[in-house]
Each structure stands twice: as structure tokens, then as C-alpha cells.
Amino acid sequence: MAEEKNKLIVFEDKKIRRVFHEGEWYFSVVDVVEALTESPTPRQYWGKIKDREFIALELSPIWVQLKLAADDGKLRETDCANTKSMFRIIQSIPSPKA
């Protein structure tokens, strides 16, 4: 059952990792940023958005760090957001797809 709840979803041929946590789905922020921006460095892109839109304004983080499988198969702490928070993050992305 737990394995079934940690499946990938696909958005425009991009894999987005997700995990079921505390009764709701949480999605990898970096994966969503990559899918929407096609940036070659989605982690850096997310870092700049995070600094500009949240940290610089001293807003409370709207994401949590959860362990998701990385490309090497190991579980790594990853910035994740639930659906409501993800929409707020998407609003901060200057991209036509967002």
C-alpha cells in the first residue's frame, strides 16, 4: 500500500515525484519547477524563487522537506508542497506554462 502511494505522476512528459503525507499529497517542488520552466538547473531556479519570494520577504515556508527517491535510488530530503502551497509557488514562476 505504501509503495502505491509514492508513485510518480507525469506532466507534459516530465516525472513529478510525490508522497502521501499526513493525509494529503505532497509534490516535489523542484520537479514541478523543472516541468514548468524547462530550466537546465531546476534546483538553482527554485533556490532563486525561494529566496526572492519567501525568504527575502520573511514569509513562513509553505513547503516541507520530505524524503523522496533520488535518481540514484536513495531517499533524500526534498522540498515538497501540498496542492494549495504548490499553486502559490507556481504563481511565483515567471513562465508561460505556469
Cβ contacts of residue 78 below 8 Å, gap of 6+? Answer: 17, 28, 29, 30, 65, 66, 67, 68, 70
Strand order of the sheet with strand 18-21?
18-21, 24-28, 75-82, 64-69
Per-residue model confidence as pLDDT tens digits over 83-98: 999 999 999 888 766 5
- pLDDT category at 7 given cuts 50, 70, 90 is low
Q: What is the mean pLDDT of the chain?
A: 86
**Residue matched to cell numbers 507534459:** 12
For residue 51, the SS3 value is helix
Phi (first) and psi of residue 2, to 5 degrees: -60, -40
What CATH class has 4-91?
alpha beta
Per-residue model confidence as pLDDT tens digits over 8-17: 565 556 789 9
Q: What is the pTM of this model?
A: 0.82
pLDDT of residue 6: 56
Q: For 60-82, what is the mean pLDDT? A: 93
User: Higher-confidence residue: 33 or 57?
Assistant: 33
Domain range summary for the chain, segments of one domain joined by +? 4-91
